[in-house]
Amino acid sequence: MAPYETDDSARSGDAAALAAEVEEVRSARRRKAARYIVPATVLGVAAATIGLVPAFAGSGDPDLPKISAQELIEKIAESDVQQVSGTVKITTDLGLPDLGGLADGLMSQGASGGDGGSAADPSAKLLELATGTHTLRIAADGPDKQKLSLLDDAAEYSVIHNGDDMWAYDSASNEVYHADGAGEGKDQKAGKGEDAPEDAPATPQEFAEEALKAVDDTTSVTVDGTAQVAGRDAYKLVIEPKQSGSTVGAISIAVDAKTGLPLKFTLTPASGGAAVVDVGFTQVDFGKPSASTFDFTPPKGAKVTEADEMEESGHHDSKSKFEDFDKDAASKDAKGSRDSKGSEEEFASGLDGLKTIGKGWSTIAEFDNGSEGGLPTGGSDTTGDSRVDGFLNSLGDQVSGDFGSGTVFKTRLINVLFTEDGKVYAGAVTKDALVKAANAAK
C-alpha cells in the first residue's frame, strides 16, 4: 500500500507523512467497519433460512395415479379411519372484527345470568373458533373414544369422549363439564361426536362433508393435481360454484391418497384474497393413540358441572342455549360466524317465516323478522342507544332499490340485507344478488 512506500522514502515531506497517517486511520476504520459484515451475514443467512425452508418444504407435488373426481368423492365416503391423532390448524377470516372478546362478553353475560354456567361448557367455547387462528389436537380410537383439544396460551380446552362419558376440561379455570351416556351426551356424542354440538364442524373431514352436501348440478367438481399435506401425499379436490353471484370462489379439499381422509379444507372467496376458512392437519398419525389419552379423572379441587344439574337448575341445556345465542347473534348480525352453508340453513330453519330463493350456491334465505322498521338500521325502531345504532350503521352499507331501502351487512362470505319493512335476506351471495332478490320478491 502507498502509505508504507512514502514512509520509506526520505524525500517525503511533512505533508506526505500526514497524508499517510490519515490514510492509515481510514484503513483502520475500514477494517473496523468490515467486522460488521459478520453480524450482517448472520442476519442474512437467518432471514434466508426462514424464508426459504418453507418454500423448499412445500415444493414437489407427489406423483400419484390419476383419479377422477367421482372416484375421489367415493374414496372420501368410503374412508373409514378409526384411529387417528394429529394437530389441526383452523384459520377463519370472515372480515369481522375479532369476535373472541365479544363472544366472551356475551357468553359470560349468559353464564352470570344463570349460575349453573361453567367455563368448561362446550357451547361457551364454540364462538372462539369463528375468528382468528386456532390450533386443535384430535385423537380418535374407534367410535367410543375421541378427544378434541383446543390449544390456548398456556392452557388447553379438551373435550373427551370415552365410552359413556363425555368430559370437557378447561385447564385455565380448572373447571370440568361432565355429561354421561344416559343424558344428552349420548344423543350428541354417540355418532361421530368429536366435537360439541354437532352443527359445528371442526376437523377437515367434517368441513368436507358439509361441502360435499352442497354438490349438485350447480357445481363443478374437479381433481386439481396433488399436494403434500402434513407430510402425506394427497389429491386436491376443487369444488367451484357454476352460478355467478356467489361469494364462494372455490373450495379445495386435500384428500389423503391412502386412507381417503380429508386432510385440508380451504374456502376461498370469489373476491379473492386470503382464504375465509382454512382447516388442515399440520401433523397426522394413523397409529393407535395411547389409551391414556382418553382417560380423564377430574383433578382434585376442580369444579365439576354435571350436564343434568344444569338442566335441573332450570337453565337451558347446552344445545338450546347455543341456538338461543344463534338467534341473538343473527339479529345482531354476528351471523357471519357460521362457517358453512349447511349449518347456516340448519340454524336459519329455527326462525319463523323462512323462505329460500334460488338454489345451489346462490340460495338466499328470506324471512320476516316481524318488526316493522326492524333491525337496528337507524329506522324508527332504534335500540335507544345512539352509540350502538351509530356503530351498527357504520358496519352496514345503505342500499335502495325497487323494494325500498335497507342496510347490507357484509362479511367476506355471507351478506345480509335488512330492509326497512322488516324483511331479511341472507346468503353466501354478493350484495347485488341480494338486492336483485329483494326486488324480485316485491
Partner 1 sequence: MSRVETNGVEATATDVATAEAASPAARTPGFLWTFGLFRSELVTTFRRWRTIALLAVLAAVPVLVGIAVRIETGDGSSMGGGPGGGGGGGGPAFIAQITNNGLFLVFTALAATLPFFLPMAVGVIAGDAIAGEANAGTLRYLLVAPAGRTRLLLVKYAATMTFCLVATLVVAASALAVGALLFPLGDLTTISGTSISFAEGLLRALLIALAVAASLIGIAALGLFVSTLTNSGIAAMATTVGLLITVQILDQIPQLDALHPYFFSHYWLSFADLMREPVYWDDLQRNLGLQAVYAAVFGAAAWARFTAKDIAS
**Applying CB under 8 A, which residues contact partner 1?**
31-32, 35-36, 38-39, 41-43, 46, 87, 98, 104, 107-108, 110-112, 115, 117-119, 124, 135, 137, 149, 151-156, 158, 160, 167, 169-175, 282, 292-293, 295-297, 299-303
**Based on CB atoms, which residue is closest to partner 1, 152 or 368?**
152
Question: The C-alpha cell of 72 is what?
Answer: 375421489
- Taking the complex as a whole, how short is the minimal distance between the CB of residue 122 and partner 1, in angstroms? 14
Q: Which is nearer to partner 1, 59 or 112 (CB)?
A: 112
**Among 364, 431, 435, residue whose Cα is nearest residue 404:** 435
The answer to whether 391 and 404 are in contact (CB under 8 A) is no
Taking the complex as a whole, the smallest distance from the CB of residue 26 to partner 1 amounts, in Å, to 14
- The number of CA neighbours under 13 Å toward the Cβ of 149 is 18
E strand intervals along 296-381: 303-306, 355-357, 364-368
Closest distance to partner 1 from the beta carbon of 39 (Å): 4
The residue among 152 and 324 lying less far from partner 1, judged by its C-beta, is 152
Q: Return the DSSP state at 97.
A: P
Longest dimension (CA), the chain: 110
Parallel, antiparallel, or unpaired: how do β-strands 423-427 and 415-419 relate? Answer: antiparallel
223 beta partners? 237
CB 282, min distance to partner 1, A: 8
DSSP 8-state class, residue 292: G
DSSP bridge pairs for 152: 155
The residues facing 239 across adjacent strands are 221, 251
Separation of alpha carbons 383 and 379, rounded Å: 10
Measured from the CB atom, the residue of 164 and 345 that comes closer to partner 1 is 164
State the minimum distance, in angstroms, from the CB of residue 343 to partner 1. Answer: 25
C-alpha dihedral over 406, 407, 413, 414, to 10 degrees? -60
Nearer to partner 1 by C-beta: 85 or 363? Answer: 85
Supply 15's cell numbers: 505533508
Measured from the CB atom, is 146 or 252 closer to partner 1?
146
Among residues 12 and 135, whose Cβ is nearest to partner 1? 135
CA dihedral 385, 387, 390, 395 (to 10 degrees): -110
Minimum distance of partner 1 from residue 119's CB (angstroms)? 4
Closer to partner 1 by CB, 70 or 283: give it. 283
Q: What angle is formed at CA 155 by the lines to CA 116 and CA 121, rounded to 5 degrees? A: 20
Residues 183-192 as b/e (b if ≥16 CB within 10 A, e otherwise) read: bbbeebbeee
- Which residue from 383, 418, 424, 382 is spatially nearest to 399, judged by alpha carbons? 418
The nearest distance, CB 220 to partner 1, in angstroms, is 35
| Minimum distance of partner 1 from residue 254's CB (angstroms) | 20
Minimum Å gap between C-beta 22 and partner 1 is 17
Looking at the Cβ atoms of 287 and 384, the one nearer to partner 1 is 287
If the CB atoms of residues 168 and 267 are measured against partner 1, the closer one turns out to be 168
Helix %, strand %, coil % of the chain (to 5): 35, 30, 35
Would you list the DSSP string of 12-74? --HHHHHHHHHHHHHHHHHHHHHHTHHHHHHHHHHHHHHHHHHHHHH----------HHHHHH
Q: Which is nearer to partner 1, 11 or 30 (CB)?
A: 30
CB of 162 to partner 1, least distance (A): 11
CB of 114 to partner 1, least distance (A): 8
